[in-house]
Amino acid sequence: MARNTSIKRIIDILLNKNVDEIEEKKKKSARKYQSMKPMTKNTKLKELKDASLLYVPLSQHIGSPAIPVVEIGDYVKKYEKIGEVSGNISANIHSPVSGDVVDVVEHLVANGNKVKTVIIANDFKNKEENLVKRELRDLKLIKKDEIFKIIKEAGIVGLGGAQFPTYIKYDIKFRKVETLIINGAECEPYLTSDYSVMKNYTREIFRGLKVIQKLLNPKEIVIGIEAENSELVEKFEEMGKEEEFDLKIQLLPTIYPQGSELQLINTVTGKKVRKGELPLEKGVVVSNVSTVKAIYDAFFEGKPLIERVVTVSGEEARNIGNYKIKFGTPLYHIVKELKIQNEEKVIFGGPMMGMEIFDSRVPVIKGTSGILFLSTEEIERKNCISCGYCVEVCPMNLMPFEFADCYEKGKYEQMVKANIQNCIECGACEFVCPSRVPLIESIKTGKAILSEMEENK
């Protein structure tokens, strides 16, 4: 619900400025979004029926795509590795089902790019690779190098959105970790997948933390939970006693974008980390709750990362809730299974930072925390009126209107001087803009152009 309180902040700003017309519009938006998280928050976690055809991208992470280790005609088992780490930063990819590899082809993913994808025809037999299961007592005997290998082999990446390979993040060398922060702050409207994980897999999270503790040996471990989810505190306190594990629980203000890594670190530790600076340089490591659950699965169950909890919600959705969905599941299968008839606007992720989908064959991947079916609205774009609202709501203290102006005039180098690299693309600036200036489009495209200019130097 992070955006809910953000909207309230925005309304307060506008009220203080006495902008009556915008005030009424934002009040309507606030009433609308305040009801979004409760739609799915307390629904029972379900498992979506598997698709007959799965499109499994070999790039579901930051860094180099995995190299395919299967060919057309191969038979693969569930959990079998189909993509191997490539380069310094990469992650393994595994088959979510058993069946035949029918193609290895360039295929569209949510960000609009085409990446090498293994297409698997599901035989629905769920023949599995042999899995190595472990007990808690094994954790005392196993060496750190072996744990790193387990995490790497499982293809675990950050499931909070960054999708950075976890085995690389945890390779701290000789540095000391003062604070390990577990991110349970789901800052986008609609999304309750992490809440569902915390509610349904509390013990698994604690045992996953025991694995991470052996690797990082932090002075303290803190889990950040938004105040609106305070009912989880008692559940975590009780489990901490059962598991004999010292976990500090910190309730966080429900302010968008509280779940952003930089904001979370500042709230929990008081330390300020600049965009582009590694949190480890400040003695901090941050991991999402779903990532911790994936580490539990890898170590204790022997399971690689092949599925996640995804929130399916929105005004146009039927059968909304939180579902376990396998990676590679195409959008058209989800629409069919949940009997969704009106697909005006589909977003993978949240409404603030998610990506609109225009092809029903786009698959769920490791970073897909939500699938939203929203009603469309005609937006009239106008010129910037220099009201300054975007500056007031920017969590990074930037001046977003400068980016739009530079982008429109083609002055891309000036975007660097305006610190565009510090923008976290949270979307708060565009949401509050009374002229509906496409600020995020300017920022994202501007970054892409600057990156291309840098490569061509």
Binding-site sequence positions for [4Fe-4S] cluster:
384, 387, 390, 394, 423, 426, 429, 433
CB-side exposure of 70: number of CA atoms within 13 Å?
29
Spatial CB neighbours of 179, under 8 Å, sequence gap ≥ 6: 218, 219, 220, 221, 222, 268, 269, 283, 284, 285
CB-side exposure of 208: number of CA atoms within 13 Å?
25
Strand 284-288 with 345-348, pairing? unpaired
Residue ranges of E strands in 296-410: 307-313, 321-326, 345-348, 355-356, 370-374
SS3 content of the chain, % helix, strand, coil (to 5): 35, 20, 45
Please give the annotated binding residues, written as ranges. Answer: 384, 387, 390, 394, 423, 426, 429, 433
Task: Judge residue 34's burial from the number of C-beta atoms within 10 Å of its C-beta, 0-12 exposed, 13-18 middle, 19 or more buried.
Answer: middle
Helix or strand holding residue 286 (H, E) = strand 284-288
Copy the structure tokens of residue 145. 């190098």
Residue pair 117/362 in contact (Cβ under 8 Å)? The answer is no
For the chain, what's the residue count?
Answer: 457
Residue pair 117/55 in contact (Cβ under 8 Å)? The answer is yes
Residue pair 289/194 in contact (Cβ under 8 Å)? The answer is yes
> Cα(202)–Cα(207) distance, rounded to whole angstroms?
9
Please provide the DSSP assignment of 61-129 as one string: SSSSPPEE---TT-EE-BT-EEEE--SSS---EE-SS-EEEEEEEEEE-TTS-EEEEEEEEE-S---B-
